[in-house]
Each structure stands twice: as structure tokens, then as C-alpha cells.
Structure 1
């Protein structure tokens, strides 16, 4: 029986329906805007970022909402609408009152602010989602939504790799993309994707394989019946625990989402992206073994690009570029057969506790033999590698604990089974200090001798090895329109790293204060600083290059103002510097102005003009750029120049969306763009692209 305090809590939320209802009139919380908010933060530590297919799930929920009374923690976390703590609080509220009776009742969930609720509303419902496990397979296959994407683009300036009469690149500079996908809520996904990168052969040469360079095919069913929780055929992603032995789903790194640090992707997910690694190609299955037990098994094999070693009998590394443009790159294509297999056993003794036992095995049909260098002393060398781990998640009142411990199951390498020594562990906790304050604490320790080919845990560096660190994140909501986020991260690398010929350490902090007026203004100020070891090229005379501490500082002011219901203006100013004892202090800035026109009618557009001035790549600013649907990117701005783009979108034809985009970079200091085979003799670079999307 629901107690009086609970009834008062629910009644108060429903009485507030009219307050929140006012914000729903003209609700234009588009999937695209939410994607921008998320990926712009995730990509700043890397180079170019392409759209992560995981976010396409939101578009399915926009048409067939997720049922709040049936959704699991994994399903809620996979939307990236909620932090882990908010998910825990929502589930605890649902357990206490026996389910939601209205979506407006979300206002009563502790820790759910109005801005978060507004983001959720287009994608959730009460009792109307498609989470019924009895939906027959025939219905899944014959109903739902189908999508066809046809995209093409190219760079107008000719790069050195295309120079006649003897070009190094065998193909044209066109980038081509084709995707068909059919979905039914989150229960069914099937499709095919194909891509050709610039410089790759498509047709016209009899001596080279023609057609698209990459093809992907997938069939995925969730909740087929009460026993089969997930079935994956073709391409799919696999994510275990906190990513210490295998994680190919999406996971937040250090970002302004300062308390969202736990890995939370479902074990199996469909994969429909064009990233040519970070997925499994084969079959996967998740079965329910009663109410408390669940098991997942998978196996897959794919041909990987490898860099052939001098002995022609082994490879020095597995390539991650995905490019096959030159004769050398084609010779390395599909050189290594990689078989990946494994399984997971989950136990939920209580709805607040989850325990997992995970195993992953890897087999390469060609020996992986990195060149002997001091920094890669502990890298895997051999053909077979196995890892095992235990992970946990435990929710207790305002505390949410999570973690994983991993080690070697076996290793058949050039140095024998003793090669894979060392453990990896991560332990964290999210704490709800009160409804207006959340905290996250993460400790990780990845031994230099720990090896896992597809590990992707939280940390400063990729791969889950050679790092010990402590992260503290905080989020405060002191008033209705204000939000304060900050984190501090300290870490140490006990062994050498690539280009860093000594053990090193680092520290990073980030502070952001955000002010939001609903549907009118979104502004924030941010400070960010990072200090870590940096290797200096000492020339051939030195066997080990010296290592100095380099500090990278950045300050940002950003404002987005909705002039009318259809027109939004955004402005951003970045200023920063990089400093070390070798090069001294190098300063730079970036300033852009955006206009976004999104009326109720069929036509929409986005435009930007940016100016930037930095000494070079050492001082760079990562900026989100609106792109064609599912093709937005975050790019580094550096050097001296101007950057602009114009995106046009038309939806006036039934079921069709037509898009075109042009972008241009102009260096103002006379320097040419690109390097190596991508170099041009021009001070400008122009990119054009177009796309047709058909939904039915």
C-alpha cells in the first residue's frame, strides 16, 4: 500500500502539470540538438568525431516512446538523457509508488530538474512504449520504420595524392555513403551500410577490387520472447562492465557531464556505423535464466588491416584508419584474420544489485609483433589472448557504486603465458548529496603489463593500461536557471608511453557555470586546464628524448539566443594557451557566429562564420559543426584563418529530406593546407556534400 507521504508527493507533481505543460507548447527539442549537446563534449579530447550510431536510438523513441513503467536501467542509460544517479532515482521512485501514472509525474522524482525532464518528454511515455515481449517476429519485420540514406561529397581542391600523371591515390576524391535500415522501436533493427572513403577505388580499375570499400550488415532483435532478451547477427557491439576487457558501445569520457562517468551500454547492441573496427561481426545471444540470472554469448570473425612487418610473416600493428587508397594500403587490407569470442553471466540477487562474470578471447591468424621499443615493452605480442573480469553495480539510497576488476585468462605470445601479467581495476561511486548536488568519484589502476585488445575504460589514455588515477566530479543546481559543473582528475603513468621516454604524471580540471532561460537563452562560461608530460625530440644523438610538463589552458564564453521560435543565434569565444619550458607560452583564440533557422515549414538552414588565430596545432580549439543528418562532426580549429559553412535542408516532399552542405577554410597567413599526400598548394579548402533521406 502506498503511504500518505508518497501520495502527497505524487499529488503535488500532478498538480504541477499545468506549469510544465506550458513548456510543451511549441516543444522543439529535436534529436539533433540533443546529439549536439552530447557529442561536442565527448569529442574534445580527440581529433575528428563522426556521428556515433548509438544516438540514432533516440529517433526511434521519438516515434515510439520508451515506456517509463517497463524501461530497465540499461535502456534508460542507453538514451544518454539521464545521468546514472538520475536513472537510479527514477527507478527508486517507480519501485516506491508502483509505477508512473503520468509523464508529468517526473517532476516528483528527486534530482530531475525541469531541463532534464524537457529533454526526456519527446522520447518517453507511460504505458505506450513498445516494450511488450510478446510482439511476434512477423509484426516486427512487417511494421516499423524504414530509412534509406544516400550521401556523397568531396573536397574541391586537388591534394598531392591525386596528382597526375602517376597519382598515389588509386581512386577519386569522392566520399560515398549508402545505408538502409528498418526499425521497430528498440526491439528490431536490420540494415546494410556501405562506404567509400576519398582516394579509394569505386570503379574504373580492373586490377583493384571495385565497389564500396566497406560493407556492413546487421539483424538485431530485442525481447523476442521471455527467454531471448537479445539476438544479434552480422555486425553488433558488445560491452562488458566498465570496459576493462571489452567495450565497443558508447561511453562518456571526461566532459562537462561531470558526474556521468560510469559505463552503462547494454551488453549487445545493433551496429550500423562505418567505423571499420570497434565491433563484432558474427552472432550474439542474450538469454534470461529465470528472474535473477542472465547470460550472453557471442563469437565473430573479421578481416583486419595490418601493417606488415619486415619479415613478411607478422604484423607490427593493427591499423585503425580504415583507409585503403594506395597500393601499400591495399596490400595491408584484410591481412589479419581476427576471431573474437566470449560470454557474460549476470546475477541480480536484488533489483539494486548486479554482479557480472565476463570472459573475452582473441585469436589472430597472423602473429602480432610490435617493433621493439622501450615504450611498448609490455604490449601484447603473439596470436592468442584471453581476459576475464568481474563487475558490479550496487544502489543504496543516495549511493550508486560500480566497478570492475580484470586480469589475464591466458596469453599465447612470443614470450609465453607469463607475458600477460598485471591487473586492471576501476571502482567508482555516484553520490546524491541532496536533490541539488551530485558527486562522482572514480579510482582506476591499470598495470603496465595488463593487455586487452578492445578495452575502453574511463581514463586519460585509451586501452586501459599503464595508468593510475583519481577523478572527482561535481554537479550543483543552486537555482532554477543555474547549473555548475566541475571536475578534477589526477593520474600517473608508471611506465613509458609513445613519444614520452619516462614515467609521467598529469592533472586536469574543468569548471563550467551555465545559465538557461527556457526556450530563450542558453549561456555558459568555462575554464579548463591540463598539465601532463610531453616528449621533446632530442635528435638522433639522444637515445631517450627529454620529457617536460606542458600546460594547456582554455577559457570559453558561449551564448545561444532564440530570436524567434524559428531563428536561433549562437556566439562563442575561445581563448587559450599552451606552455612548456621548451617552447614557452603560445597563445591563440577562436570566435564564431552561428545562425540556425528551423521553422515549422519544410525549409531549414544553419550557417557559421569563424575566425581563429593560433601558432599551430599545439594551440587548437575543438568546435562542433552542424552537418548532414547523422554526419555532424567536431573539428580542431588551429592556424590563422577563417572557417565557414552553410547547411540547407528541405522536407517539402513527402517522406523525403534533401540536404546540401558547403564548408570552406581560408588561411590568412599565406600557408597552404594539408601535409603529405593530403597537401595542396592552396591556402583554402572547400568541401561539398549532399544527402537524400527517404523514410517510409
Structure 2
């Protein structure tokens, strides 16, 4: 019973602290909103991290909404195609937006979207602008220098024997920006256990990203050199740009044409390296072209003549991992031409790619039989769309050297200003592949899937928002843990209510997916129920949030788990901001694990999972020590009640708790 008394005391202390303090505006108040919108599983965690990084950049360089073009508003990832059109139409009909409160006049924007949008836009009187002079760029541009480090107060097995480097994780980034016109940046990142200024990392960090991005220079709509991300069409052949969980991905999937974005995150895998540009060759036609050459990590065959696996983990801690660093290379080039006028849009995309040695995946497992293979690859696609008032239709159809087809098509209809429905159909042949594809899917790839999605967004009142979807998918060929054709059903209902200082939300998700039984003689359903309840009280000076999560999985065995969390923050003390959270979790095993968003450092995404029994608590302090210099520190501990070791193999920690200290210094000049 002692551990439960400790939990109650800690929760009581935290609530009393928050209730007695006052605060000014939090530095990143949008983070909690995004945390509530995240899907409660790890399947799209990397994509959420990419969006999190992009939103921090957008917060630093907000969109001037009164002079924004369609492409400018598409920088905001949570806005749908129809919401962007409604914003532009409102400004065209009524003139400049004067205050954020005026966004309530755009009925297609939910209360949550309006609140989020206010953090990423600036409102100015429209004025004719041109590309700035070099003198103004140097004189008035903004500089940001950011250094972040993680200090674990424990040792992993590999830290003592096995890892090539020390146990500290750190990264540094510098960026110079001038509004929406110019970005120049450099990022260096190091994971725990990786060598620093030694081995293959003779230049210091294990990973670097560098980029130069120019926008709105005459007919040159955008140009990026260095490391970048690109999306064409709806992602059937090319998309290493933003993509995130199913509950949010539909907001941006209908955007057509192409998008180029600097690779400013610490991820060492999903990017291109070279140059990409979009040119406006007429008021209605845009042309995009890109070229890329980069090294990447791979597992090679024993004779070194072929690639068996393209690696995405980006870890180089051991001799084995380091030997696979940048041991293969890839060339890619392609482009997109897009025509858009009077609601109609049509685009053609294509690319050619080659590897320095053939890709030969291990096809001994039946589900790998149609994985991409070869040395040279190409894909082509056509994307198309039409929008008129309340109705919109978008789609893309693709093929390639695989000699198979993939298509995705969606219809969106706004029945009333507060009710919209969406239907989406996709067919991805089990023989289809593209080495750069990423689009809407249940199976995790643009291959071996047919499905239908039906969703509805309804605001019965301004304070109430309801979202529901059901998604039915069929996999005609074997998949991992499935030796035959299979099916899945995914359903989600979320309800939000805001009144005064209170915000309440509830979310329930039921997911059923066929997998092999224990004897591998037949398919049975893996059924997962996930539920969440939360209540938030916010004032201009402080906030507190209580959240309860539960998971029940039925597969070969039954597994149940839950987690109760209280979090909040304040900035009552001059130049000091405080955020804290505490949560108790109890799950039967890994299958009923709980995912919980946690406030982290700037540009550092934190979405940990918990299983077993224990308590998680964290404290984050942020202080503007001098003008334009912010120091942030976070201490987080996970204390397990049901084990004496944490992790396995080289990651094993020989104790029942783990504490990490994070430090970050941010200088704006």
C-alpha cells in the first residue's frame, strides 16, 4: 500500500502547487492540443515527430494570413484542402482579417482548429511585397542557435561494454531565416552510444543535415539545396514529407501538386540530398524538378554484391551497426507538372532511381515475396481533382517498373457549414511498389491493400466537436504474422466539449485485425480497445489536466492496462516557466501498453510508452536567463514496481528505475 500513498501525496502536491500559482502565456501552448490529437499507438510515431518539428519552425516563422497564397497555407499541416479554400474565400469576400476572433466566421474551422491556427499565423495589413535585398536579409534576418543534451543517471549494459561511444545524447542546430523567403540551417545529432569525433564520425556528430531554402523569388516559387523532403501528388510514388496518424492524415492527403521542405530534423533516414525547385511557368501551371544523390545504411549480402535490407533505424552504436553506416548509395531524379484552374487540377509525376548494387530482399518468408527488388526503379502517376463549393474530389493513380497499379480516390462533401463527410477508397496491388511512396494505409505501406474509409466531422454547437470514422481494409497477399489473405476493421469516435475555462474530451478506438493463431493453422482477430478521458482547466495564468487511458487487447491471450495522469504548468515567477506531470500505469504485459504524450524540449518530441506497473513523473523548468537566451531543464523518472531490470541485451539497465536529465540552451539573435 505504501506505493499508492506515495502516488496520492505526489498528485495532491502537484495540484496544490498549480492551484496556487499564476502564469503568463506558455511558450508553446499548441503542444497540448497536438498531444490530444495524436493516435494512441507507435505505428506513426516517427511521422508525428516530423510534424512536431515542422510546427516549431512554423511557430518561429508564422504565415501572414492576409497576404497568404494557397501554397503558404499548405505549410500548416493540420488544415484540410477545403479549410484552406474557405479561408482564402473569406478574405477575398470580406477583406483583411483584423483579429484571430474573426476566424469564428469561417464555420468549417472547428474550435480546436481555430485555436491551433492562432499560434501559427500573424495578422498584418496587406502590402505588396517582393523578395528582400541581401542587405535586409543580413540586417533583419533572425538567427537561432539551439543546443540540447540528455544525461542518463544510469548505465546500460552497452555503456560499459559494447557501445563505441559514451552514454550521452546531444544535438545542435543553427538556422538563419528571413520571414518566408529564406532559410539556411545546419543540424548535428548524436544518439547515446555513438562515437563522437572518432571511428566513422571523424567530423564529430553521427548525423548532419544542411540546407538552403528560397521562396517567392519571381517565377521561382521555391528552391531548396542540401537535404530536403519532397511530396508529389497524394504520395503513391513520392512522399518523404509530413505524414501522421490516421485521425489527422486526411486533413492534408488531398493536397495536390508538389511540396518541397528542408530536412531540419535529427532523423537520419527519410530525406533526399541535392536540389529541388518549383517554377511557375504560367499563372496556372507549376513545374517541379529534383535531383538527389546520397549514401544510406544497408545490410549487404555475405559477398557484398547486393543489398538485402535498407535500414531505417539510424543507430551506429556498435561495430556491427557502424559497419553498415552509409555502405550503399542511391541516385534519384524526377519531377511533377501541375495544372490548376477554376477548381480543376491535374498533375503528372515521375521519378527514376538507381542503387549502386541490386536490392535482393530475403523472400524465404512468403510475405516478402513482392518486396521491391532490383537495381533500377521508376514510377509514374497522374493526380486529379475538382473542388466546387461544398464538394471536392481528389485522386491519384500510379504504376511503375513493378508493372502493377495503385490508386487512391477521395470525396469530401460539406452537408452544412458544421457537418462534413468524407469517403476514401484505395487499391494497392500486392505486386505494386515504389521505394519512396507513403500515403494513406492501414497496413503501413502502399502495397497489398484495398480499403474503404468513411468519416464524419460534426459541430452540433460551436463548443462541441464530434469526429467518427470507420475503415475497412483487405490484404489479398500474406503479411507479417499472417500467412494468408486477411482483413482489418478500424473504428474511432472522439468528442470534445469546451466551455469557459474547461475543455473535456473523450476518445474510443476499436481495431480488429486478422493474424495467425498460436498454431499458425488459421486466422483469428487481434482485437484492441483503446479509450481516453481528459479534462483540462486553463486560465491566462495556469492550467491543469487530468487524463485516464485504458487498453484491452484480445488475441492469443487477453491483456488489460490503464494509466492515470495529471499534468499542468505555470509561469508565475518572473522569467521562469514550470511544467510537471505524474502518472501511474498498470498493464498486464506489453500488448496492453499505454502511450502518453509528454511535454519536451523545443524540437524534441516525447511520446513514451509504458507497460508493467510503475509511476512516471517529470518536471520541466524554462527560464529566460537574459534577453533572447532561454535555458530549459527537464528531469524525468520512470519507476517500475514489477521488475529489477529494465530493457534487454545491450540496452539492459540493472535497476528498477531510470532517470534522465535534459538540458537545452536557446539563443535568438
| TM-score of the alignment, normalized to the shorter chain, above 0.5 | yes
CA separation of 1:407/1:371 partners in 2, compared to 1, >3 Å: closer, same or farther? same
In structure 1, what is the Cα distance between the partners aligned to 2:564 and 2:46?
Answer: 21
Aligned to 1:449: 431
Residue 161 of structure 1 and its aligned partner are, at CA, apart by 1.4
1:642 aligns with 2:615: yes
Cα offsets for 1:293-312 (capped at 9, x unmatched): 11011101111000122332
Aligned to 2:332: 340
CA RMSD of aligned residues (A): 2.6
Secondary structure at the aligned position of 2:150 is classed as strand
In structure 2, what is the Cα distance between the partners aligned to 1:46 and 1:217?
Answer: 28
Aligned to 2:67: 70
Secondary structure at the aligned position of 2:239 is classed as coil
In structure 1, what is the Cα distance between the partners aligned to 2:201 and 2:175?
Answer: 29
Alignment of 1:263-302 (within 5 A): 263=255, 267-302=259-294
Residue 91 of structure 1 and its aligned partner are, at CA, apart by 2.5
CA separation of 1:534/1:427 partners in 2, compared to 1, >3 Å: closer, same or farther? same
In structure 2, what is the Cα distance between the partners aligned to 1:107 and 1:460?
Answer: 34
Asked whether the equivalents of residues 581 and 619 of structure 2 are also in contact (C-alpha less than 8 Å), the reply is yes
Residue 114 of structure 1 and its aligned partner are, at CA, apart by 4.9
1:531 aligns with 2:512: yes
Alignment of 1:345-494 (within 5 A): 345-350=337-342, 352-372=343-363, 373-408=365-400, 410=401, 420-494=402-476
Aligned to 1:181: 175
Asked whether the equivalents of residues 47 and 242 of structure 2 are also in contact (C-alpha less than 8 Å), the reply is no
Aligned to 1:417: none
Correspondence for 2:533 among 557, 568, 573: 557
Aligned to 1:674: 647
Aligned to 1:18: none
Cα offsets for 1:442-495 (capped at 9, x unmatched): 111111111111111011122211111111111111112111111111101110
Cα offsets for 1:65-110 (capped at 9, x unmatched): 5233432223213213533322222233344456657765434334
Secondary structure at the aligned position of 2:29 is classed as helix
Correspondence for 1:92 among 89, 94, 98: 89
Correspondence for 2:214 among 215, 221, 224: 221
Asked whether the equivalents of residues 153 and 661 of structure 2 are also in contact (C-alpha less than 8 Å), the reply is yes
**116-125 vs 432-441, greater mean Cα deviation:** 116-125
| Contiguous gaps of at least 5 residues in structure 2 | 1-21
Secondary structure at the aligned position of 2:482 is classed as coil
Aligned to 2:484: 502
Task: Tell me the TM-score normalised to structure 2 length.
Answer: 0.91
**167-176 vs 112-121, greater mean Cα deviation:** 112-121
In structure 2, what is the Cα distance between the partners aligned to 1:457 and 1:599?
Answer: 44
**599-608 vs 635-644, greater mean Cα deviation:** 599-608
Cα offsets for 1:484-536 (capped at 9, x unmatched): 11111110111011222111100011111111124x11111121110002235
Aligned to 1:46: 42
Asked whether the equivalents of residues 485 and 512 of structure 1 are also in contact (C-alpha less than 8 Å), the reply is yes
Asked whether the equivalents of residues 252 and 261 of structure 1 are also in contact (C-alpha less than 8 Å), the reply is no
Aligned to 2:118: 121
Secondary structure at the aligned position of 1:652 is classed as strand
Higher relative contact order structure (alpha carbons within 8 Å, sequence separation ≥ 6): 2
How many correspondences in the alignment?
Answer: 646
Cα offsets for 1:383-442 (capped at 9, x unmatched): 11100111123211101211111110x3xxxxxxxxx13111110122111011111211
Residue 341 of structure 1 and its aligned partner are, at CA, apart by 1.2
Secondary structure at the aligned position of 2:597 is classed as strand
Aligned to 1:234: 226
Asked whether the equivalents of residues 86 and 111 of structure 1 are also in contact (C-alpha less than 8 Å), the reply is yes
Asked whether the equivalents of residues 77 and 265 of structure 1 are also in contact (C-alpha less than 8 Å), the reply is no
Asked whether the equivalents of residues 258 and 475 of structure 1 are also in contact (C-alpha less than 8 Å), the reply is no
**591-600 vs 423-432, greater mean Cα deviation:** 591-600
Asked whether the equivalents of residues 391 and 404 of structure 1 are also in contact (C-alpha less than 8 Å), the reply is yes
Alignment of 1:72-221 (within 5 A): 72-96=69-93, 105-125=102-122, 127-128=124-125, 132-163=129-160, 167-203=161-197, 209=202, 211-221=204-214
In structure 2, what is the Cα distance between the partners aligned to 1:248 and 1:131?
Answer: 34
CA separation of 1:289/1:676 partners in 2, compared to 1, >3 Å: closer, same or farther? same
CA separation of 1:617/1:133 partners in 2, compared to 1, >3 Å: closer, same or farther? farther
Aligned to 2:588: 615
CA separation of 1:399/1:208 partners in 2, compared to 1, >3 Å: closer, same or farther? closer
In structure 2, what is the Cα distance between the partners aligned to 1:102 and 1:596?
Answer: 27
Asked whether the equivalents of residues 375 and 496 of structure 1 are also in contact (C-alpha less than 8 Å), the reply is yes
Asked whether the equivalents of residues 65 and 128 of structure 1 are also in contact (C-alpha less than 8 Å), the reply is no
**40-49 vs 376-385, greater mean Cα deviation:** 40-49
Secondary structure at the aligned position of 1:633 is classed as coil
Alignment of 1:526-605 (within 5 A): 526-536=507-517, 538=519, 546-562=522-538, 564-580=539-555, 582-583=556-557, 585-599=558-572, 601-605=574-578
In structure 1, what is the Cα distance between the partners aligned to 2:92 and 2:300?
Answer: 57
Cα offsets for 1:315-370 (capped at 9, x unmatched): 211110000111111111111101121101011233x2221111122211021111
Asked whether the equivalents of residues 211 and 224 of structure 2 are also in contact (C-alpha less than 8 Å), the reply is yes
Residue 61 of structure 1 and its aligned partner are, at CA, apart by 5.7
CA separation of 1:400/1:507 partners in 2, compared to 1, >3 Å: closer, same or farther? same
CA separation of 1:676/1:27 partners in 2, compared to 1, >3 Å: closer, same or farther? closer
Aligned to 2:656: 683
In structure 2, what is the Cα distance between the partners aligned to 1:347 and 1:180?
Answer: 37
In structure 2, what is the Cα distance between the partners aligned to 1:236 and 1:614?
Answer: 41
Asked whether the equivalents of residues 395 and 401 of structure 1 are also in contact (C-alpha less than 8 Å), the reply is yes
Aligned to 2:19: none
Asked whether the equivalents of residues 250 and 265 of structure 1 are also in contact (C-alpha less than 8 Å), the reply is no
CA separation of 1:86/1:554 partners in 2, compared to 1, >3 Å: closer, same or farther? same
| Contiguous gaps of at least 5 residues in structure 1 | 1-25, 411-419, 539-543
In structure 1, what is the Cα distance between the partners aligned to 2:250 and 2:336?
Answer: 29
Cα offsets for 1:34-70 (capped at 9, x unmatched): 2442355345332655874555565566566523343
